[in-house]
Structure 1
């Protein structure tokens, strides 16, 4: 009888311990979830991670206006938030100090949607795609990446070419003035 009583007592202790542990874990998960829900969500900036310290325009029309009024070329970046190629290029772009510095000389816009301007998709609508537009509002179709089937595509390994093309866009502007 004592053995049975001891066994039942041990079983009750084990069950109590397990239930108490499970309840504590649930409360901790609930507290963490509530903390996440009450933390304010920051609004997404216009940079979308391409360079938070840079000044970005909200619409293509705004970029055209700014380009004409400031005599700066536009750098148009087409991308998608859930595209792994866009994400990889965004990371390389944002981490490249020289590109970030040179980008200050452009009117910048990154688009996650297509514009109505068909000149911004001369060889198709793919992402990531980077084009340059001069202040005369001419798309510089002559400034291309290294791919023959996607002329305006860049990959993280093409970051030096992108930097060079940014310099080329600025030089073309100076020679045309």
Structure 2
């Protein structure tokens, strides 16, 4: 009987040691992993700017504030989106001008077909006036992707932002 108790005790000790080693491995992995920062609504497009969370919220705020809405469609794993985001976030004049807009960046497609008038590609930037009309007259430089912008198009994007604000003033 003593042998069975001794065997049971040794078995418990062996299991405890194995579990302790496994727990120690998990702890060491956790300390070497970089802490993940919380995702903000800006997603890197301008952390100091005020971004809306949903398309519906953006439409509501645009209508009630009488500000134009700028929607940026992009994907986190798209190199073209990432390149445009970097230039957009570093461009001081764009960041300053963006304060005059209701801002939304989407990493998913909406069900509103008005937001993909010429297809679902990224990155694309659309401007919507407070009457909730997509400004088809404010486009990028490509005829086959009207709302596409590349990092080299940043000055065109800036002038289109100015145009959206100017059109708003003339319509009010």
Q: Using structure 1 for the length normalisation, give the TM-score.
A: 0.80
Distance, in Å, in 2 between the alignment partners of 1:139 and 1:54 is 22
Which residue of structure 1 lines up, in the alignment, with residue 152 of structure 2? 157
Which residue of structure 2 lines up, in the alignment, with residue 128 of structure 1? 123
Distance, in Å, in 1 between the alignment partners of 2:55 and 2:169 is 23
Kindly report which structure 2 residues correspond to 1:58-69, keeping only aligned pairs within 5 A, or say none.
Answer: 58-69=53-64
Distance, in Å, in 2 between the alignment partners of 1:105 and 1:139 is 17
How far is 1:40 from its partner?
4.2
Distance, in Å, in 2 between the alignment partners of 1:36 and 1:144 is 46
How far is 1:69 from its partner?
1.0
- 2:106 corresponds to which of 111, 116, 119: 111
Q: Is it true that 1:34 corresponds to 2:30 in the alignment? A: yes
Partner secondary structure for residue 72 of structure 2: strand
Which residue of structure 1 lines up, in the alignment, with residue 42 of structure 2? 47
Distance, in Å, in 2 between the alignment partners of 1:170 and 1:87 is 26
Matched length: 147
Which residue of structure 1 lines up, in the alignment, with residue 165 of structure 2? 170
Any stretches of 5+ residues in structure 1 without a counterpart? 1-29
Structure number with larger C-alpha Rg: 1
Distance, in Å, in 2 between the alignment partners of 1:168 and 1:150 is 19
Which residue of structure 1 lines up, in the alignment, with residue 18 of structure 2? none
How far is 1:42 from its partner?
2.0
Kindly report which structure 2 residues correspond to 1:75-154, keeping only aligned pairs within 5 A, or say none.
Answer: 75-154=70-149
How far is 1:36 from its partner?
3.5
Q: Using structure 2 for the length normalisation, give the TM-score.
A: 0.82
Which residue of structure 2 lines up, in the alignment, with residue 8 of structure 1? none
Distance, in Å, in 1 between the alignment partners of 2:40 and 2:110 is 20
Moved over 3 A (4+): none
Distance, in Å, in 2 between the alignment partners of 1:50 and 1:146 is 21
Distance, in Å, in 1 between the alignment partners of 2:41 and 2:146 is 26
Distance, in Å, in 1 between the alignment partners of 2:32 and 2:154 is 36
How far is 1:162 from its partner?
0.1
Partner secondary structure for residue 126 of structure 2: strand
